Amino acid sequence: MSPAAFVHEAEAYALLLRAGLHPPRHAIEGAAMPFETGEPVVVKGLGENVWHKSELGAVHFLPFEKQTVSNEFKGMHQRLDASGHRWLEGLVCEQIDIACCPHLPSEAFVSLARGEAGWTVLFGFGGLQADALAELAPPLRWPLAFTSPAQALAELETHLLGRIWLGRIRGTKELTDRTTLGNFVEALWGLAKVAETDGLTLLELNPVALDSEGMPRPLDAVGHRGLRPASRRAPPAGFLTALREPKRIALAGISAQAGGVGRTILENLSSYPLPAGDLVMIKPGHAVLFGYPCLPDVAALRANPVDLLLLALPARAAADTLEKLIRQGGGARCVGLVAGGIGDGADSDGIGARLAALLNETRAAGRWTPAVVGPNFLGHWVPGMRLNTSFIPVEKLPAPSPAGGELTLLSQSGAFLLCLQSRQPAVRFGLGVALGNQMDVALCDVLTALAAELGHGPVACYVEGFGPGQLLAAAHAIARLRAQGRHVLIHRAGRTAAGQAAAASHTGAMASDITLERALLERAGARFADTIADFDAALIWLSACPQIHAGPVALVTNAGFESVNGSDRFGNGLPAAQLDDWAKQALATLLHRHELSGLVAPQLPLDLTPMAGPSAFIAATALLLEQAAVMVVGLVPFTRGLDTTTDGGAKLARVIAGLRDVHRKPIAIVVDSGAGHADFRQAFVSAGLPVFPGMESALRGLRVLGSG
């Protein structure tokens, strides 16, 4: 076997045979030729790093004859040498009798690549028109860690190429059968194992065609060996506990002057109930500052460690302090690097690289190392504990509701988390972390720690990119969270080249194959919100209904436009509830009892018209909850029929919340109005119901979460 990085066709064929695939019958130059004189063959010249032989005149179809083949090899050798490619050897292959579909493409391209998603199979159209056909039928991406051969076969059956092969397009005939195709897909999974064993990182089969018996035959194959990336060394266990409920905190960078970063962090920390002496300042030359004990430097933490050390120091001073902490072998379980200019575009001195190398070195040696959050660590929040480590003053952003919630918010942008808290104050969460530049603790690490807790709250993530070794770890953590019944919601920013460039300058986010990344994380169980509006809408649901389950949705409203627009949102994964015969009759009776017969049709969506009062809404909601998994109640507040006073809103909210609790089904409220009815809207928020400014928003949030 060649030790070179490039894997030529003859070597690739040997791998295919080991995996149970069926390349053409073949022989290399100088070996015994298993061909009869006159038999149709393909003569190929194999050169170093030659991926497309035909473009260099290194492929020729002809009848087999020994001298003719020898002459072809000589000519190909000369052409490859002239093009700068070292000659490796000649290859003779049988010509395969290919099954074709008239007027339709039938060749495939298959790629197996080992990258950030682990081994992934890319399956799509091959041949000269592959790029154009990909626009019509994008290639399938199968991350092997989260895709079974059976799942892949089911997807291939619905792909245009699969339908052509299986004769499922009008006017075509079957070129192969499902069993044969399933065996081929299964063999690709085996091929990935063979490639892994042999140290490959890439193997391309192009084209793959069906022979006259319907067997998929790789007609060409090349690959590449590469160095495997070094395993990522994750931060030590326990860092999440140190963030969520620190028993002892130290802060460095506090100034006597008001308005500074360190001073604002201290003001926010003062709300966190710690025993006296367990919030300490690192402040040389002071014994006490603002009533808190001071230590001269981090050396004093070696004997009496803290759970959380916040370094609100300039970049170089923060780095020096962290280095000292690491070299002394103890003092803090988790360190928050507040400063920027470490490992980003402003780091002209390589401070970040030096720190990253030190962290890796000490962990590789098995020595003590803290978990480091940041740089650009804007802070984190644990509302139920009144813990706020941010440097944002409360007069600019009020503290989150201390009632807290089960939701966890993780953001690779601190500003995003701040804006979310400000525009969605009703979203209650139990933990929010601005991860900063993720020099050490990354999104995948927090997800992994959350999954290890066996909790039950949902997780929402704002993501701008994944660094080396992080994507697959995130996928595995998401799969564990989903196995616990916990929702994982993602908004992926930086999906364009310009967005990636902006993300890199902002948080150091890494560019990646966005389509593959999404395929992997969706297969692991994550749900994606394509817009911030969708993300916010889904968060409102998750905040109030953490364990929301999929199912048909029923709408009841007093505004015709809401029922019409709501109907337009159904479909594509969001089913409308249906009434059975009993429910139709019961609804007709209900409408008659509330003097709405002839005004309101007993159907869904249920448009109660402006004539309806609270009792009609309550009765209809109770009835429809028997037929639906999720209810959305639209309360346009401009009619006299609804009591929108503070007391009236509170009374209606209590009753609807009671129906939610009795039926154990989510109920959302839509109040489509301006600021004049803020108190009416707030009544339902206070009752713990998800409240939306419009019907479309409520239903978009459900679609994101896959309610149906």
> Cβ atoms within 10 A of the Cβ of 284, count?
9
pLDDT in tens, 369-381: 999 999 999 999 9
pLDDT of amino acid 24? 98
d(CA 409, CA 429) in angstroms, rounded, equals: 7
At 14, the pLDDT band (50, 70, 90 cuts) reads very high
> Cβ atoms within 10 A of the Cβ of 129, count?
12
Question: Looking at residue 297, what DSSP letter applies?
Answer: S
Of all residues in the chain, the percent with pLDDT exceeding 70 is: 97
At 510, the pLDDT band (50, 70, 90 cuts) reads very low
Residue 387 pLDDT > 60:
yes
Q: What is the mean pLDDT of residues 5-21?
A: 97
What average pLDDT does the structure give for the chain? 94
Residue 293 pLDDT > 70:
yes
pLDDT of amino acid 500? 47
- Which residues, listed in sequence order, are joined to residue 250 by a DSSP beta bridge? 280, 309
Sign of the Cα torsion 27, 30, 34, 39 reads positive
Q: Which CATH class is domain 553-705?
A: alpha beta
- Choose between 707 and 279: higher pLDDT: 279
Question: What tokens appear for 70 in the block?
Answer: 């020898």
Q: Per CATH, which fold does 108-225 belong to?
A: D-amino Acid Aminotransferase; Chain A, domain 1 (3.30.470)
pLDDT of amino acid 127? 81
Helix, strand, or coil (residue 272): coil
Under 8 Å between Cβ of 677 and 671: yes
Helix, strand, or coil (residue 461): strand
* Fold matches, 237-376 and 553-705: yes
For residue 671, give the amino acid letter.
V
Helix, strand, or coil (residue 370): coil
Residue 3 pLDDT > 50:
no
Q: Per CATH, which fold does 400-547 belong to?
A: Rossmann fold (3.40.50)
At 495, the pLDDT band (50, 70, 90 cuts) reads low
pLDDT of amino acid 589? 97
pLDDT in tens, 590-634: 999 999 998 999 999 999 989 899 999 999 999 999 999 999 999
pLDDT in tens, 660-684: 999 999 999 999 999 999 999 999 9
Tell me which range, 377-386, 499-508, 698-707, is most confidently predicted by mean pLDDT.
377-386
Residue 34 CA neighbour count, 13 Å, CB half:
9
pLDDT in tens, 245-280: 999 999 999 988 788 999 999 999 999 999 999 999
What are the residues whose beta carbons fall under 8 Å from the beta carbon of 235, sequence distance 6 or more? 369, 370, 371, 372, 440, 441, 445
Under 8 Å between Cβ of 5 and 226: yes
Q: What is the mean pLDDT of residues 183-201?
A: 97
Which one, of 512, 515, 501, 438, lies nearest residue 471 by Cα? 512
- Which residues, listed in sequence order, are joined to residue 200 by a DSSP beta bridge? 225
Instruction: Classify domain 237-376 by CATH number.
Output: 3.40.50.720
**Count of helices and strands (H, E) across the chain:** 22, 30
pLDDT in tens, 566-598: 999 998 889 999 999 999 999 999 999 999 998
Question: Looking at residue 384, what DSSP letter applies?
Answer: G
pLDDT of amino acid 497? 56
CA distances from 397 to 379, 387, 409, 429 (A): 13, 14, 17, 16
pLDDT of amino acid 200? 96
CA distances from 587 to 83, 609, 667 (A): 80, 15, 19
Helix, strand, or coil (residue 45): strand
pLDDT in tens, 57-108: 999 999 999 999 999 999 999 999 999 999 999 999 999 999 999 889 999 9
Q: What is the mean pLDDT of residues 349-355?
A: 93
At 306, the pLDDT band (50, 70, 90 cuts) reads very high
pLDDT of amino acid 501? 46
Under 8 Å between Cβ of 494 and 500: yes
At 166, the pLDDT band (50, 70, 90 cuts) reads very high
Question: What tokens appear for 464 in the block?
Answer: 């701008």
CA distances from 78 to 29, 46, 63, 82, 438 (A): 15, 12, 22, 6, 52
pTM value is 0.92
For residue 279, give the amino acid letter.
L
Residue 2 pLDDT > 90:
no
Under 8 Å between Cβ of 414 and 378: yes
Under 8 Å between Cβ of 614 and 630: no
d(CA 209, CA 126) in angstroms, rounded, equals: 9
Q: What is the mean pLDDT of residues 493-508?
A: 53
**Per-domain residue ranges for the chain?**
25-94, 108-225, 237-376, 400-547, 553-705
pLDDT in tens, 195-215: 999 999 999 999 999 999 999
CA distances from 123 to 9, 112, 278, 513, 659 (A): 19, 9, 58, 15, 50
